[in-house]
Chains A and B, each alone.
Chain A
């Protein structure tokens, strides 16, 4: 069974440009999460989808970030326009159901560098 995949693995863009990150969860997983780790800090929650609905987007830093999950399958996270402080590693995770004991399975991350 394929794990969580993310594309691209790396992205280097200039300040003011737009970048779109993609996440393909494990097939059949209704829950999809986005996280971000900035240099030297802990991984932080951005938002949570259940199927195509945003369950919790309390971690989204500002309105330059837009996440979508059309059809409840893959998800995209768009940053527009990108700022220097958006640099970091963006992780996606998925789980079958929303419950306390469900393990979230993480993708390898997208390393974003904004110059």
Chain B
């Protein structure tokens, strides 16, 4: 069964600190893995995308890694800001005709001043 699992479920950190979110997946055939950020009351917004051959991708203070052998990914946030408070969702795309998205349940991050 295609699944995407994320940890932790929620996380509270102080402004300026770093944090790392984890994603494990069992999606086959694999096309790519994305991290989305979802602010409260908004739709998800894409942060990074990585294919099988890419093991790291950065977008500002966000750095995603991918280990396709162990089927694990992480999202590292550096020098967190209050605006980073959101849900972060790991999404794996199947390498099928429609490239269907398989979503994780997300990690809810709260950054405190």
Contact = CB atoms under 8 A, between A and B. Distances in A.
Interface of A: 4, 33, 35, 40-45, 48, 55-56, 91, 93, 98-109
27 contacts: A4-B43, A41-B105, A42-B89, A42-B105, A43-B44, A43-B89, A44-B103, A45-B100, A45-B101, A48-B98, A91-B43, A98-B97, A98-B98, A98-B99, A100-B51, A100-B95, A100-B99, A101-B32, A101-B49, A101-B51, A103-B34, A103-B49, A106-B44, A108-B41, A108-B42, A108-B43, A109-B43
B100 A48 contact: yes
Contacts of A109: 42-43
Given A91-B43, A108-B43, A42 B32 contact: no
Nearest to A43: B103
Interface in B40-90: 41-46, 49, 51, 89
Interface of B: 4, 31-32, 34, 36, 41-46, 49, 51, 89, 93, 95, 97-106
A42 B103 contact: yes
Nearest to A9: B41
A106 B43 CA distance: 5
A107 B41 CA distance: 10
User: Could you tell me the dominant secondary structure of chain A's interface residues?
Assistant: loop
Contacts of A93: 43
Nearest to A95: B99
A104 B41 contact: no
Contacts of B32: 100-101
Contacts of B44: 43, 91, 106
B99 A102 contact: yes
